[in-house]
Amino acid sequence: MTARGFDPKAQAGKAPNPSRHVEVLVIGAGPAGIAAALAAVRGGAEVLLVDENPVAGGLMGLDVPLYYGGRYTGAVQAKARMVEPVFAAKAGLAEAIEAGVEIELGVYCWGAWVPGQGLASLPAPVAGLADEERSWLVGFDRLILAAGARDVAIGFPGWAQPGVMGARALESLLTVYDAFSGRRLVILGSGDLAARTARLAVGRGLEVVAVIETQPAFRVADDRFPAGVERLAGHAPVLASGGIDGVERLTVRNLVTGAERTLACDTIVEAIGLTPAVELLDVLGADLAMQPRLGGHAPVSPDGVATSLPQVSLAGDVAGVDQGPDAVVYRQAWARALGAVGGDDEVIVCQCEAVSRAALLAVRQPTYLGPPSEAMAARGLDRLLDDGPANQDQIKRLTRAGMGPCQGRRCREQIALTLANAANISAETIPLAGYRAPVRPLPLSVLAAWDEDPVMAATWDVWFGIKGQWTPYADIGTDREALYDGLFGGDMHL
């Protein structure tokens, strides 16, 4: 038996020092999160319930976490002043506090980890939280994820301007923020989500100009929509146009006759599909699988509560929202219809990185690299597909689609749909484009570990700190070898 050595430059022994520990951490104070927090506290647990709303105006502008499409009033810019109205709008929070739940609003959860493969040095589960000023870590025994679902966005000509938004974002701006700035809506989609969105809007005194469906028939019965709302099946949006404040009208085309009409509106709400907000689950390493009925890549769960990780459970829409077995087929049909409308060059699929649908399909290199070489120009999606199945992460590396500050929220689903249509395969076969911490784009100064353990600094190395790794080749095996270890230790630039 030889003595086991120790590598002071490795992570072991430097586990993040959580600034506190709670028994149960609940992420998301929607109805499901509040109910879960209440149940946990009534079961005798110590419970911290965290919700990122009100989110900073800057993040809303990036469509994080929801696809707000810029249709909010100036009120959202004053985050501190939004806390009270958000608290008041979330029914049940007062009761939760009464019952002993500790609540933090305006706090982002940007990562969470449990011990597992590749994390041998992590002693216990930990979550990363942040507000606008700083980040901190909280240890937990149990994490209840109630992060909800978000909208699937699909582009069409003119979509990348204020006024095109998602149904979940509209609901949030109406019911949580009371800060929606639109008046006249066109809704895209004809399923349950579209019907509920239309009813919500009309109930709030907004005008719903029309509900548009690219497919020949609506997905739910006409009487699910408010009376008097025009319903146009077999129509596709072909151009959203407007001015500096965004959308002012939408041109739609009858896909049978080709006739076009222009509808005056200030907002176009995409209500085509929801996908569970699985980003924290992906960071945690919970099993996810394509489950079309649940809206895409959803947590693998026997009961909608348990996950593959014993410390992590689900509450509410993050487990998936039932949208019928053909939910992804339906989305793909929408993407096909919008693709057929054309405008591949104008439709900017990835707004952050300005990647058009044409550029995506051609696997075109980004414009900052200048004109492509001859060889590059000859490379397109078809040649890439000859070499292996479509993979979004690979295409993202080449085109930069999905690599921007919105972390792919506006584009990842439509990239998958677009690739699937181009490859003539089911979008259900496209692997999930991976999520990485921080799952909210937060400034360096906020994420920074200003509270760092001195041991981290004392043992920090640029690279592994392997003795002799940087010794110049000629000196290897000579007496000069010792010199380099003495001079630098391992801490050499790379």
Of residues 421-440, those binding another protein (CB under 8 A) = 436-438
Q: Applying CB under 8 A, which of residues 78, 88, 91, 119 lies at the interface with another protein? A: 119
- Interacting residues with another protein between 170 and 229 (CB under 8 A): none
- Interacting residues with another protein between 79 and 118 (CB under 8 A): 111, 113, 116-118
- In whole angstroms, the minimum distance from the beta carbon of 168 to another protein comes to 22
289 binding another protein? (CB under 8 A) = no
Q: How far apart are CA 71 and CA 51, in angstroms?
A: 22
400 binding another protein? (CB under 8 A) = yes
Q: Applying CB under 8 A, which of residues 43, 123, 203, 342 lies at the interface with another protein? A: 123
SS3 391: coil
* Helical spans, DSSP H, in 285-428: 327-341, 357-361, 374-377, 381-387, 392-399, 412-423
Q: Using the minimum distance from each CB to another protein, give the nearer residue, 117 or 424.
A: 117
CA-angle at 302, arms to 274 and 129, nearest 5° = 60
Q: Using the minimum distance from each CB to another protein, give the nearer residue, 90 or 400.
A: 400
Q: Using the minimum distance from each CB to another protein, give the nearer residue, 221 or 375.
A: 375
- Interacting residues with another protein between 300 and 359 (CB under 8 A): 353
Cα–Cα separations (whole angstroms), residue 425 to 265, 284, 364, 379, 389: 35, 30, 21, 20, 10
Q: How far apart are CA 231 and CA 220, in angstroms?
A: 12
Q: Give the closest residue to 186 by CA, choosing from 174, 175, 170.
A: 170
- Interacting residues with another protein between 354 and 393 (CB under 8 A): 365-366, 368-369, 372-376, 379, 387-389, 391
**Token pair of 458, please?**
């004392």
Q: Give the closest residue to 344 by CA, choosing from 355, 352, 332.
A: 355
- In whole angstroms, the minimum distance from the beta carbon of 240 to another protein comes to 27
Q: How far apart are CA 187 and CA 185, in angstroms?
A: 6
- Interacting residues with another protein between 9 and 68 (CB under 8 A): 9-16
Q: How far apart are CA 409 and CA 252, in angstroms?
A: 26
- Interacting residues with another protein between 435 and 474 (CB under 8 A): 436-438, 441-445, 447-450, 452, 455-456, 459-464, 466-473
Residue whose structure tokens are 């969470």: 112
Q: Using the minimum distance from each CB to another protein, give the nearer residue, 418 or 471.
A: 471
Q: Using the minimum distance from each CB to another protein, give the nearer residue, 329 or 376.
A: 376
Q: Using the minimum distance from each CB to another protein, give the nearer residue, 140 or 180.
A: 140
Q: Using the minimum distance from each CB to another protein, give the nearer residue, 40 or 137.
A: 137
